[in-house]
Amino acid sequence: MPNIRKAYKFRLKTNRDIENKLSRFCGSARFLWNKSLAMNLERLEKAFGDCFDKHQPLKRMPVFKKKGSGDGIRFPQGLRFVNQMIM
């Protein structure tokens, strides 16, 4: 029997203050992603070479994220918050 994968979308009812904080949090996550991607592309040529390697068809070139295109955050399964800290 094949595995069935499900996804859920939630819309939060927020006020302006919470929206601003969530927007800053998403912006920070996007900044960190883009900064780490830039650092890895600059010093690791292997990632660039692997994306064109015909023996590894599942690897592809990583892309920069743009503001406004799917601003969201994914939390891995099993993520726990204890006293406002990620455990």
The number of distinct structural domains making up the chain is 1
Residue 26's domain comprises 15-63
Would you place residue 47 in the very low, low, confident or very high pLDDT band (cuts 50, 70, 90)? low
pLDDT at 85 over 80: no
Residue 1 covered by a domain: no
Residue 71 covered by a domain: no
41 contacts: CB under 8 Å, gap ≥ 6:
47, 48, 62
Residue 4 covered by a domain: no
Residue 53 covered by a domain: yes
Residue 41 covered by a domain: yes
pLDDT at 53 over 80: no
Average pLDDT over residues 57-82: 73
Residue 3 covered by a domain: no
Q: Which of 61, 60, 63, 7 is nearest to 30 (CA)?
A: 63
The pTM for the full model equals: 0.46
Residue 46 covered by a domain: yes
**Residue 86's pLDDT is what?**
66
Residue 75 covered by a domain: no
